[in-house]
Homo-oligomer: A and B are copies of this chain.
Amino acid sequence: MRPVLEVEIAGLKLKNPIVTASGTFGFGLEYEPFVNLAALGGVVLKSVTLNPRQGNPPPRITETPAGMLNSIGLQNPGVTEVVEHFLPELKRRRVKVIASVAGETAEEYELVAGRLAQAGVDAIEINLSCPNVSRGGMAFGSDMEAVRSVTGRVRAVSGGLPVFAKLGVLGKDVVETARTAAAAGADGVSLINTLPGLAVDPKSRRPVLGNVTGGLSGPAIKPVALWAVWRVYKELGLPIIGMGGVTSIQDVLEFIMCGATAVAVGTGNFVNPRLTMELAGGLDQALSLEGVQDIKELIGAAHLGSER
């Protein structure tokens, strides 16, 4: 008997727990030469703002030990283009779509989320790591008042759709941020966004990235991501989309055992563009080998024996 891979997270049914991490998979179509989108649990889109954004000056990417820094700066075509062009394409492919919402103000988040909800996405993810212009660029996610207002507004315009708050781990304790987001109406959380980072080119004696600082992702951050998932699951028991450095089935299982219901692949797509498909396909065998009949048995399994 083949193990059951279907999971339900905050009311959203996914055929398997494998989804993509926002910003690493474009709008899905870019990966069609490698991936049958319909075989994935779902696709999380690049964060979208109200108007098109050009993003940060290059260089935008640099490699670091077992990881990478990026400072894309939310380059995206704006919500109208996404609603009119990409969503209809994705719908035809019958893949679950989780749209990621970004903005410079709480109003912008609300407007973008409203447009996307109306356009028929399956869930909303709120990218709370954006700089808040009205607070001097401090990330929304480290200001509990901003978390509350953005989450509340997005919740209000998202109808019955599941809403996930995507959090980093710096600034405020992640459990407190998650609790605040949940209280303001988030159905679950996405953990974790990139860590802040910087690299210097010793030859030129300048920061490598055009934007000076960037976000650290990839296998390097996996232990931190697992720690965040573990704590939020243990303290709050919220539905979690876990991510950070996933490159193998073993990584997927680690996230699930820490408490994630779905697992997102980000930087791993760059290393192996077929990774999401291979993971979705390989879970079957991995679970059979371990005698697991339903992947849901494993969610949070590593907590058994620890005081919860």
Contacts and interface: CB of A to CB of B under 8 A. Distances in A.
Q: Which 4 A-B pairs have the closest CB atoms?
A: A197-B223, A65-B219, A66-B66, A220-B220
A223 B67 contact: yes
B200 A258 contact: yes
Contacts of A169: 170
A257 interface: yes
A298 B205 contact: yes
Contacts of A223: 64, 67, 69, 195, 197-199, 214, 216
Given A205-B302, A301-B205, A200 B226 contact: yes
Interface in A226-242: 226-227, 230
Secondary structure class of chain A's binding surface, majority of residues: mixed
Interface string A155-182: 0000000000000011101000000000
Interface string A270-308: 000000000000000000000000000010011011100
Given A171-B173, A195-B224, A302-B206, A200 B66 contact: no
Interface string A247-262: 0001001100110000
A147 to B, nearest CB: 16
A52 interface: no
B65 A200 contact: no
A257 B227 contact: no
Number of this chain's copies in the assembly equals: 2
A75 interface: no
Nearest to A305: B206
Q: How large is the interface on A (under 10, 10 to 19, 20 to 34, 35 or more residues)?
A: 35 or more
Nearest to A67: B220
Nearest to A142: B173
Contacts of A21: none
A107 B221 CA distance: 35
Given A66-B219, A202-B253, A207-B302, 7 more contacts: A64-B222, A65-B67, A66-B66, A197-B227, A198-B227, A202-B257, A216-B224
Given A257-B205, A298-B205, A198 B226 contact: yes
Contacts of A206: 302, 305
A212 interface: yes
A41 interface: no
